[in-house]
Structure 1
């Protein structure tokens, strides 16, 4: 919510690119984009199975790209008739940075929430950032003030919470649980997540 709505300022009929689309946060961002009314919601993931699943959801991605063997910036350009997207939500950092810039439309915003591939981007061309008037916004909730976090929770509760339901519900935004692990299997949960094997949230249950 913070990345897509407050920082990204995604508008109805706009375009959104979400990386790690099959993750819990990625799925929430995709659905939130569709809920807002974005025309193009494009997601990346690492396997054909995940990409097919993301497109099959009623409120899922309108287009997808396998970041391992496709240039996702080209997929974005094709899906948006060359305009690019207005908002990119990125967790990856280094390896995706230049293609993220290429994917953004004029006056677009990239919201960076993590740097899973690294924090240093060598030999980056800053020209498109200037010419397209782009904004790069980093964010982590841990460094936000209690007042900011309280306001964020209040806005989310007021605008979005009532539209969320479980997998069998009829909410416009659905929670997807990949697997529930008992607490004594927490290492198995971490291994599955590190292997990028999940589609949705992994939950560790404390008995």
Structure 2
């Protein structure tokens, strides 16, 4: 009786086990075939702004439609963080440009000043030029800068006055935005140019 019961169970368990294994295998394959989702997909980051470039010409967010964008908020009098971040960002971009020129041609790196009191269009233009001709520097009135920073959830605050001038407390994020202006990822400027180049190659197609 026991032998018959075992035989009966084996007839059902074996096919069930095989079916379950096949199902799990197909699920794993299906998950591997799915493209990785952007880390910032769906985040409320980015939006309309109106600023000016080094020549004092008006620049709006909508002018970049159809292009990938790298956006970093900082200020030119920053003694350490901004130069280091932007240097890593632009060296990474240049490495990406060398390896993938067609894709890099569709990317616009942007530096937005959060210190409009000192960062005139001319000052911003001179500062960004030190990092290469592809980096676009933007500034504006305090209200214009606030609108842009709020759209990108960028924090900044003016520090206390000192004999050497004031510093600005601010967030340090380089956003990668897609051609529709939607957020894709934060570029790892803290990990160096190679990491930035790899991240760009991962998303910009």
Coarse TM-score class (shorter-chain normalised): under 0.3
Q: Which has the larger radius of gyration?
A: 2
TM-score by length of 1: 0.26
Q: TM-score, normalised on structure 2?
A: 0.26
Name whichever structure is richer in helix by fraction.
2
Question: Per residue, is there more strand in 1 or in 2?
Answer: 1
